[in-house]
Structure formats: structure tokens, C-alpha cells
Chain A
């Protein structure tokens, strides 16, 4: 009860100038986080820096809720690499392993077939209708690093958006009521 009373008091005693300072400070934090994020995307060369593993198709190596760090270089795609790709018409990226590579002599273009470690069949069923191979432009990055369990935060926030609102609401309240 004391904490709520304190919060209410501090909201009452707020002045415009102090409020604006707080808002600018918050904006600075958010902007610098965004700058770091975009810079890392530039450095690693992939459109998204991390992906969260959503399915069990790569178990037991990658469980649902793990985070994969991506990197995309100009190096050719080789068998055994774990790649993240998008299928035309679907927006969720898929993380599977390359099992077959056919690289053209002159152009360097490549036909790639992928399969999830835990799946019985290769990914031809997942590709778009009539598509037999993946090409370089489908591939968003290679998985190079791994962090377990941290992705559960994202999964929970996506599946139960009410938690996202509660979190942001609480953070906003904390920022307003702090006297720094």
C-alpha cells in the first residue's frame, strides 16, 4: 500500500518540464537501442539478427524457444550448414540444414535442398508449389551461434499479447514515477 501511495503522490507532484525530460530520456534510450540493432544487422549482413526457433523440426539440437544468431556472407552455401530461409507466400522463416547442393559452373548460382534434422522427409513439401530447390535469394542467413531458452520471452509475448501490454504499461508507470 505504501508503494501505491508513493506512486500516486509522485504523479500528483509532476511538473511539465520534468515530464518532458523523462519523455526525452526514454526516447533517447529507445533510439540508441534501435541504432545498435540496425548497426548489428549491417555488420552481420542478414536481414534479421536473430531468429527464435518455433518448431521441433531440428530437435534435439534446437528446441522451441532457443535463439539463433545469424550471419550472411558471400561465401558459397555448402552442405551441412544450417540456413534460415523464407518460402514465397509464407512469412515465418524456417531454420533447417542443407543436405544437397548443386552449384552452376559459370554463374555461381546454386540449387539447394534442405531438411530438418528431426523430420523424416526433405523440405520439398514445404517449398512453394512446383519449387524443387532453394536459391541464394531465398536464404536470409546461416546460423552461427546459439542461446537456449531466451526466445521463450518472444514466444509468450506473441501468443499472449496481453502480457506485452502489461509489461509496457508497468515499464511506463515505473519511468513516470521515478524521481531521477
Chain B
């Protein structure tokens, strides 16, 4: 009853249980999160209908964001991406990711970047002419341990031209 093995076993079980409990409750410590972002479309580079029938557009975007308030001691990285959201007659929701980045540290979380879309903006069909769409900046906080959480900012009011160019 008092052998070394028995004591070591009890101690180890207790330690692992406490560790698991700590890993679990760490997910419930939310801090004040006030991220902000702005996206501008600087230019529509080109807007074509592909040979197999789908519309494709290439944009140059100007993205400004401050995601520093998302970083806590438990944050391993923040994955941020910009997606275009729009509705067509066939699909009630389309989301197309245009750009993403991995932010490993708080210092890199306040940034300004001007790029053309990293991923191709292709529709299922040819519905993009004169289309109004939202640009959303999503972030996904990946912790060192525990629950991951994600949220987004929706910016509306963007639209594509009437004709191909």
C-alpha cells in the first residue's frame, strides 16, 4: 500500500489529470479583442470568361489590418485570410479566398500590404458581371493548447464592372 510503485502511480495520475484540466480551462480565458481592418480594391487587373465557361477576375488589393489584440500568452499563430462573398442565382453563398497569411507574432500583426490576389477568383459559372460582393477579413487563432476560435470583419460595398476587360 505504501510501496514506491503505488505512490509513483498515484502521483503521476494526479499530475496528468491536473495538466489536462489546465489545458482545457485555458481555452476560456478571453481577453479584450478589438481587431480592425480596411480593404481597398486598387485595380481590376483583368476580368475574363475562361474557355470552360467560368468567370475569372484578377484584383489588386490594399489590405490594412491591426490584429495585435488577438495575441495572448497561449497564441501560437493567427491565420488571417481575405475572402470575397457574393450571391448568384444558382448559389445562395459563394466564398472565395483571395489571400491569406500566417502571423506568428504580435509584432507582425499590424500590417499594410498591397498585392494582387494570391488565389484565383473563379466563379462557378459566369455570373460576376456587375456583381456586388463583400470582402471579409477572417482570422483563426491557433493556440499553443486548447480551443481554437475564429471570427471575421465584413466589409461591404464592393462591385465588379459590367463588362469584361
Q: Which residue from B92, B104, B119 sits with its C-beta under 8 Å from A99?
A: B119
Q: CB-defined interface of A71-112 with B at 8 Å, one 1/0 digit per residue?
A: 000001011111000000000000001011111110000010
User: Which chain A residues border B146 with CB–CB below 8 Å?
Assistant: 145-147
Tell whether, in the assembled complex, residue B90 and residue A80 are in contact, meaning their CB atoms are under 8 Å apart: no
Count A/B pairs, Cβ under 8 Å. Answer: 81
Q: Which residue from B76, B89, B95 sits with its C-beta under 8 Å from A79?
A: B95
Tell whether, in the assembled complex, residue B94 and residue A101 are in contact, meaning their CB atoms are under 8 Å apart: yes
Tell me, in angstroms, the Cα distance from A143 to B79 when the chains sit together.
14
Tell whether, in the assembled complex, residue A105 and residue B89 are in contact, meaning their CB atoms are under 8 Å apart: yes
Tell whether, in the assembled complex, residue B94 and residue A61 are in contact, meaning their CB atoms are under 8 Å apart: no
Q: Is B138 an interface residue (CB 8 A)?
A: yes
Chain A interfacial residues counted at CB < 8 A: 26
Chain B interfacial residues counted at CB < 8 A: 32
Q: Is A144 an interface residue (CB 8 A)?
A: yes
Residue of B nearest to A101 (CB): B95
Tell whether, in the assembled complex, residue B142 and residue A100 are in contact, meaning their CB atoms are under 8 Å apart: no
Q: Which residue from A78, A99, A111, A143 sits with its C-beta under 8 Å from B148?
A: A143
Q: Is A148 an interface residue (CB 8 A)?
A: yes
> Helix, strand, loop or mixed for chain B's interface?
strand
Tell me, in angstroms, the Cα distance from A47 to B110 when the chains sit together.
40
Tell whether, in the assembled complex, residue B77 and residue A61 are in contact, meaning their CB atoms are under 8 Å apart: yes
Given A60-B102, A99-B119, does the pair A104, B92 have CB atoms closer than 8 Å?
A: yes
Q: Is B124 an interface residue (CB 8 A)?
A: yes
Q: What are some 23 contacts across the A-B interface (CB < 8 A)? A: A76-B93, A80-B138, A80-B140, A97-B140, A99-B81, A99-B96, A99-B100, A99-B119, A102-B94, A103-B91, A103-B92, A104-B91, A105-B92, A117-B79, A117-B102, A143-B148, A144-B148, A146-B146, A146-B147, A146-B148, A147-B145, A147-B146, A148-B144
Given A80-B150, A117-B102, A146-B146, does the pair A61, B92 have CB atoms closer than 8 Å?
A: no
Q: Is B35 an interface residue (CB 8 A)?
A: no
List 8 tightest A-B contacts by C-beta distance, closest first.
Answer: A99-B97, A79-B95, A101-B95, A105-B92, A103-B93, A80-B138, A61-B142, A102-B124
